[in-house]
């Protein structure tokens, strides 16, 4: 498997400068990852920086709490598409999901999917706040609403690190055509591989270079081999 092409290089921290975003895009191109995931205000810059490279421009909507009105998420998604976004990671309304308001959660996701105009939409459930039953319901609602991925976390919730058990639950809760993205705590190659074995096929990471350096070290025989073959 090509590890690089499963990584969304995350550039979402609020303190990042535009120079930080530039460097992050340079890393993404040099390491040929799947995408960068930038803040909404950085989409236009990233789209210009990544044009013609094969690295996608990802961003977020309703981030990080998911509690903005659906109309705001829709307006945000439309503006992000216009600015050049290829993928949108949207946060579901966590409180409505916890409260069992399935119609609201479904319609909120579906509205963003429609506004994304065919771009990939990943529904962030924020598993740290959910019971197993709520996670399953969130996954099923996201699939029914037309999302392309379900995602574990924004990476900002306390205790929001992705776990193999959480990934297995999400993978079992959606059909094989839906992707599962692990985010939060994906800082090492071993961690990424354990989550991949559990069923994740996309990863949000800030430690992209360290992970891919570890892939290269294993290919050279400088580090213990993983249980399955990997490529950069």
The answer to whether residue 26 is catalytic is no
DSSP 5: G
- Bridge-partner residues for 7, per DSSP? 203
In three-state secondary structure terms, 134 is helix
The answer to whether residue 151 is catalytic is yes
Angle formed at CA 120 by CA 116 and CA 126, multiple of 5 degrees? 100
Residues whose CB falls within 8 Å of the CB of residue 195, separated by 6 or more in sequence, listed in order: 162, 164, 167, 182, 186, 203
The answer to whether residue 89 is catalytic is yes
Only one residue has tokens 């574990």, namely 152
Give the span between the Cα atoms of 189 and 180, in whole angstroms: 18
Give the span between the Cα atoms of 124 and 62, in whole angstroms: 10
- Bridge-partner residues for 59, per DSSP? 38, 88
- Kindly name the residue from 86, 89, 108, 161 that is annotated as catalytic: 89
Residues taking part in catalysis? 89, 151, 181
């Amino acid at each position: 498997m090509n590890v690089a092409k499963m990584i969304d290089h995350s550039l979402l921290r609020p303190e990042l400068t535009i120079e930080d975003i530039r460097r992050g895009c340079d890393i993404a191109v040099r390491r040929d990852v799947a995408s960068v995931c930038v803040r909404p205000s950085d989409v236009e810059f990233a789209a210009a920086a990544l044009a013609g490279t094969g690295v996608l421009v990802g961003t977020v909507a309703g981030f990080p709490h998911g509690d903005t009105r659906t109309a705001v998420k829709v307006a945000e998604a439309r503006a992000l598409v216009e600015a050049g976004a290829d993928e949108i990671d949207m946060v579901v309304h966590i409180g409505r999901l916890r409260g069992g308001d399935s119609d609201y959660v479904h319609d909120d996701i579906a509205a963003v999917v429609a506004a994304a105009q065919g771009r990939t939409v990943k529904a962030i459930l924020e598993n740290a706040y959910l019971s197993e039953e709520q996670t399953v319901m969130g996954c099923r609602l996201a699939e029914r609403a037309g999302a392309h991925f379900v995602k574990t976390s924004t990476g900002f919730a306390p205790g929001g690190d992705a776990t193999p058990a959480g990934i297995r639950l999400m993978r079992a809760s959606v059909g094989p055509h839906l992707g599962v993205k692990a985010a939060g705590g994906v800082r090492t190659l071993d961690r990424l591989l354990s989550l991949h074995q559990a069923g994740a096929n996309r990863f949000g990471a800030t430690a992209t270079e360290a992970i891919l350096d570890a892939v290269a070290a294993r290919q050279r025989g400088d580090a213990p081999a993983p249980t399955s073959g990997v490529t950069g």
